[in-house]
Amino acid sequence: MRTTYLCSVMPLLAAVLWLATMEPAGATGRYSDWENWMSSATAVVPGRDAKGPLQINVGFGAALGPEYPGSDDVEAKPLPLVDIDYKNTIFASTQRGIGYNIWRTRTTRAGPRITWDFGRESSEHPEIASLPDIDPAIEAGLYLESYVAAWRIRLDARQDLADGHGGFLINGDLAWGSRWSKRSSIIVGARTTYMGEDYAQSYFGVDTANATASLPAFSADAGFRDVTAYIQIVFDVSKSLYVSVEGRGSLLLEAAADSPITDSSQVFSGAAIVGYRF
């Protein structure tokens, strides 16, 4: 039985990897907040009996957010979702990455995972065209997710292994969730990100060789990148079909706010996804 399930998972894992690393058609730039934009689609576990060890969540939606970190120009981007979970042990997801729950209880799970960062195509944006592109990154790290009553705590640390931004990130997320009605749930939370020096210099620094009259040289130090408040609403159309929407407001901090590439330290974004769980 286990072999049968694993064999059925392999093509889905391949689809997850392809969707997560492809450059979406029609997009004018790379994704800058992929994981967070889709988080509402995996925020609520439906109250239903499990149909087996393999749980699958698929969906599609769109996000409206900054063209690149620091930009005050916004654009819409498609959000393909494939989220596969096997016995709450192994997961592969275009939103959560690929991971293994080494520590798993009814309220807590933790372990290693692989995530990705889509980088930045500076040449597509006149304001930062003098800066080098940032290649996509494959990140390895550890995560923890725990529930205490109506509260959810998420922590993770990740390091680039693929010569993209070259640095590390530490994320902390605290949220409160509740049923809003018989069919809908609401989640309100806050999140902050600490960036290492290599990441900060890649995304917010300006080397002397790339400086221009409108983009002076700037050395970005390690520090907190931003703090974010968000609200998510998930409406269950049926036991399997759902619609999720969210809105986020972020404040860039320290080097991210002081960088000459940053047009505004206040960032707003939103996303909506229609999905099906089976």
CATH code, 90: 2.40.160.40
Range of the domain at 167: 2-277
Asked if residue 32 has pLDDT above 80, the reply is no
Q: Is the pLDDT of residue 20 over 60?
A: no
Domain count, the chain: 1
Instruction: Look at residue 222 and tell me whether its pLDDT is greater than 60.
Output: yes
Query: C-alpha dihedral over 99, 137, 37, 68, to 10 degrees?
Result: 170
**Taking the model in full, what pTM does it have?**
0.88
Model confidence over 148-196: pLDDT tens digits?
A: 999 999 999 999 998 899 999 999 999 999 988 889 999 999 999 999 9
Q: Is the pLDDT of residue 98 over 70?
A: yes
Q: Can you give the pLDDT at residue 269?
A: 92
First-to-last CA distance in the chain?
18
